[in-house]
Structure 1
Amino acid sequence: MHSTSSTKISPTNTLHILAFPFPAQGHILPLLNLTHKLALLGLKITILITPKNLPILDPLLLTHPSSIQTLILPFPPHPKLSSGIENVKDIGNSGNTPIIASLSKLENQVIQWFKSHPYPPQAIISDVFLGYTQIWAQKLNIPGICFVTSGAFVTCLFDQLLININKFKNPSCVHFENIPRSPLFHEKQLPSLYRKYKKDDPDWKIVMNSFADNNKSWAYVFNSFDGLEGEFLDHMKKDLGHERVFSIGPLSSISESKRVSLDSSAGSGVLQWLDKWQDAGCVLYVCFGSQKVLTKQQIEAVALGLEQSMTRFVWVVKEQDSPWIPNGFEDRISDRGLIIKGWTPQVDILNHNAIGGFLSHCGWNSTLESIRAGVMILAWPMEADQFQNAKLLVEYVKLAVGVCEGEDTVPDPYELGRIIKESMSENVPQKENVKVMKQKALEAVKEGGSSFIQLNELVKMLASKINMN
């Protein structure tokens, strides 16, 4: 996309954007995948990153050596963060607040970098957790774009909670009457960032102001698609009072296929094991995301539930969880189950013909990956936006079966086993529904599809906006 502005922006007059991802696994990868798509459309991107997160960019930088560059700034220290912590995976969800607050301190460095750069970016696209960048964009007189790594449904809810933060604080339940389908949530089901809010904490003041600042953005971009969340995307447009709400997903990873070969035991090993099963959809994939560590009682309940179900399965267990696996369990299930300790190629596993279900925490990335693979979800939401995602999946679009909920809940293993067995062995409607939604997802990102069109429209409107300035 070329600029016709009278101001020279870059040596080739190519549209140049600064991308600022939030350093958490579920946030950073989707924005990197979006920058990949933008680079393919001819844009130049500079990614703002801190030193310890730089290796995450390797596949992207190797793919686009000339069009994607980095702005590496030191991670600002924070009293609640140990030295060397620059990513949520190193501290867990409790680190979201201090990391958001800490990264806000980069403002002066970023603005000075813009002013000293011979061809500075003409727009900023940043993670929804970094809403204060919309103020940076205003100070620089350039468009700011909010990239949302969760769905439109939860964003509608969170905006309402922000507007009515005192009204909704500590309620037994909240009824969102102004949102499509008038959803109802109990207090423990509300987004974690809202539930943990501390009014007099200076970090929380930064966080909540930052989220409010997202509404000052020139545009919203969602890793979602119209076939899944059309009614909530339309509501966002109505609520914001403009049409610059773009659904451009589901975004696919550029690095997943490359990563399998890095570790044959975790990558090709599990795929070879799945090759043993000729029956399509006979294996359950079990994984609860990159951050959540289960308790001993939860691990024991899942193990017994899987054993009782008599279902074939692949279970991804974190290193911290592995000591809680019951003695003798692996021997007893060795003919039909595989336990993986550590990283696995989730996208490749979900797309294997043998996989027929996904016992999941309902994180947004896992949700989209499961839909894209046409795999039914067994939902166990625990924290963050997962309760909202589960409601969307179980009640609204009916792609999932509810199993249990809550980060501290210990499911009844016999009930868990029954649900797994019934869902995997019977022709439940969710299996067919998710295959239909898979086709909608694939159509959306194809040339001429809704997400394809909206991504191109975003670039076109952004170029037009910049040319007018």
Structure 2
Amino acid sequence: MAEPVGPHVLAIPYPAQGHMLPLLDLVHLLSSRYRLVVTIAVTTKNRPLLDTLLSRSPAVVPLVLPFPDYPALPPGLENTNGQPPAFFRPLTHALAGLQDPLLRWARCTPHPPSAIISDFFLGWTSDLAAQLGIPRLVFSPSGALVVAVLHVLWRRMPQRSDPDDPDCPISFPEIPNSPVLPWRQVSFFYRTHIVGEPISEFVKEGFLKNIASWGFVFNTFADLERVYLDYHRNDLGHSRVWAVGPLAPPDGPTERGGGASAAVGEIMTWLDGCPEESVLLVAFGSQQVLAPLQAAALAGGLERSGARFIWCATGETAVPEGFEGRMAGRGLVVHGWAPQVAILGHRAVAAFLTHCGWNSVLEAVSAGVAMLTWPMGADQFWNAMLVVEFGVGVALCDGADAVPDADELARVVADSLGDSGKRVRERAKELSRRALEAVKEGGSSWKDLEGLAAELSKVGVK
């Protein structure tokens, strides 16, 4: 293999929107601010997801590979978009088929990579890094608390004391603040683990390889998760833990993540006509589709609250018939994707009813918008816990199958925009100030990113 002639980072994202977007933001910063050479590896159908990055960072080089042959997946499935959770495990397993093509590329390219940064679902990339004799850094699209929980789960393998009780508490005394969650809210990958089953063992080995990796990069910031970042440094036994978030640029492209049925200009014009801090944004990420009963309860609560709102109804969410007509002027329903960062940053928006995906949490934090939490799966329960404990959000509902009480929802929404929600809104604004300070020159995340770039530059010197 040719010897590296300077730093060259190979970035490997996991093909889910919530995972890809922050890693692409990190790649942009490493390329544009620190002039590092970065190659980003994707499969054929995921190549269009790089368009925005490549328009902002023309020096980034895409490496497009055929998706590995994997009969257990439907033909053409290369990412999680619109897919049920049942496909996530085989998709994660299938991606390991990229290891040999990446190894062949790295050994043939005239400027081979000197480090790998890859998503935490891609533990097999540690083996690739070992084959190439270079360090692998884990990129976490989730917060430091969630990763601490994952590490405890896969090391200790705690089980329910009552195998028939979905609410059986699972405690984590090793982690600061000794968090506890019911079994049903523990990681899907972990709950579905079967000892000896090949994909289950592959997933477990991947997370254990993460723990042994050279370094960790988190999309978070010190003032939000300092205690958990310190925990990782102590637990991992080294200081190569960098908190570089929030990574989403507040003035970034409005088309980030997709396109909407309502033009971006139409949404922003509607917001321009609303009083300051008078609007609730309702959005549950790109994966979650509300069941008819859930959508009806949400619509009923919004209608009774008297609040102005924007509801992003993704996928096949069935907005009740006649609702949009009755709410015309007071509420705006967007069918499909909406420019969430731009909406949250508008002066009219004061609160956000969210599933608490980590990207959404950080976007709300950056914008200084209070949250109403309705976590539904994955890391969202832990994120919601952190939001409420920090005093920047209020618990509303939890669970993918939960149906909120419309009257209670109306009350919580009205409170969030009224006098009784003022304290939470003020705390949200204060945390926003700290988040924005973190990413400014001299801030904690700026310094960590600078330190990360310096370390990557060192390992590239031969």
Would you call these one fold, judging by a TM-score over 0.5? yes
1:224 aligns with 2:220: yes
Quote the residue 2:359 is aligned against: 365
Partners of 2:103 and 2:202 lie apart in 1 by 19
Quote the residue 1:51 is aligned against: 44
Residue 82 of structure 1: CA displacement?
0.7
Answer whether contact 2:302 2:410 (CA < 8 A) is retained. yes
Partners of 1:249 and 1:259 lie apart in 2 by 17
Quote the residue 2:294 is aligned against: 298
Secondary structure at 1:300 match in 2: helix
Amino acid across the alignment from 1:185:
L
Partners of 2:408 and 2:260 lie apart in 1 by 36
Answer whether contact 1:286 1:358 (CA < 8 A) is retained. yes
Quote the residue 2:182 is aligned against: 186
1:411 aligns with 2:404: yes
Partners of 1:87 and 1:309 lie apart in 2 by 38
Q: For residues 37-436 of structure 1, what are the structure 2 equivalents within 5 Å?
A: 37-40=29-32, 41-65=34-58, 67-167=59-159, 170=163, 172-253=168-249, 256-257=253-254, 265-277=262-274, 279-321=275-317, 324-395=318-389, 397-428=390-421, 429-436=423-430
Amino acid across the alignment from 2:238:
H
Partners of 1:85 and 1:57 lie apart in 2 by 18
Unpaired segments ≥5 residues, structure 2: none
Secondary structure at 1:126 match in 2: strand
Answer whether contact 2:232 2:241 (CA < 8 A) is retained. yes
Q: TM-score if structure 2 supplies the norm length?
A: 0.94
Answer whether contact 1:92 1:292 (CA < 8 A) is retained. no
Answer whether contact 1:261 1:268 (CA < 8 A) is retained. no
Unpaired segments ≥5 residues, structure 1: 1-6
Q: TM-score if structure 1 supplies the norm length?
A: 0.93
Answer whether contact 2:21 2:257 (CA < 8 A) is retained. no
Amino acid across the alignment from 1:191:
S
Q: 1:216 to 1:391 in 2, by over 3 A?
A: same
Amino acid across the alignment from 2:324:
E
Partners of 2:425 and 2:222 lie apart in 1 by 20
Partners of 1:39 and 1:70 lie apart in 2 by 13
Partners of 1:224 and 1:98 lie apart in 2 by 29
Secondary structure at 1:70 match in 2: strand
Partners of 1:155 and 1:188 lie apart in 2 by 18
**Is the deviation greater in 169-178 or in 402-411?**
169-178
Partners of 2:213 and 2:84 lie apart in 1 by 28
Answer whether contact 1:260 1:267 (CA < 8 A) is retained. no
Residue 197 of structure 1: CA displacement?
2.3
Answer whether contact 2:171 2:180 (CA < 8 A) is retained. yes
Amino acid across the alignment from 1:9:
P
Partners of 2:210 and 2:181 lie apart in 1 by 24
Secondary structure at 2:371 match in 1: strand
Quote the residue 1:9 is aligned against: 4
Partners of 2:172 and 2:160 lie apart in 1 by 10
Aligned length, in residue pairs: 454
Partners of 2:358 and 2:83 lie apart in 1 by 20
Partners of 1:330 and 1:463 lie apart in 2 by 54
Partners of 2:246 and 2:321 lie apart in 1 by 40
Residue 96 of structure 1: CA displacement?
1.8
Quote the residue 1:4 is aligned against: none
Partners of 1:218 and 1:235 lie apart in 2 by 16
- Give me the CA root mean square deviation: 1.8
**Is the deviation greater in 186-195 or in 162-171?**
162-171
Partners of 2:125 and 2:259 lie apart in 1 by 36
